[in-house]
Amino acid sequence: MSDEVWSRAEIESPCVKLCTIHPETRLCLGCARSIDEIAAWGRMSAEERRAVMAELPGREPAPKGRRGGRKARLER
């Protein structure tokens, strides 16, 4: 399938087509945007998009530590 449909003369979307929202951080694991940012992207001005794009490299879409496993069960 071609990506021509997604081509526009505006700030490119950071979407990498790995759209999964982390339940704790509420950020997309693929692009690190919030659900609200993803939903509003098409209505955002170029300046708003640039601001979001500038923040993305510093975001952690998922916690670094493990969430469960044997250690977590033993600590209960």
> Token pair of 42, please?
């098409």
Q: What is the pLDDT of residues 29-64, one digit of tens each?
A: 999 999 999 999 999 999 999 999 999 999 999 988
Residue with more model confidence, 3 or 16: 16
Answer yes or no: is pLDDT of 76 > 70. no
Span 17-34, pLDDT tens digits: 999 999 999 999 999 999
Alpha helices in 6-76 (DSSP H): 35-40, 46-55, 70-74
Domain ranges of the chain: 17-59
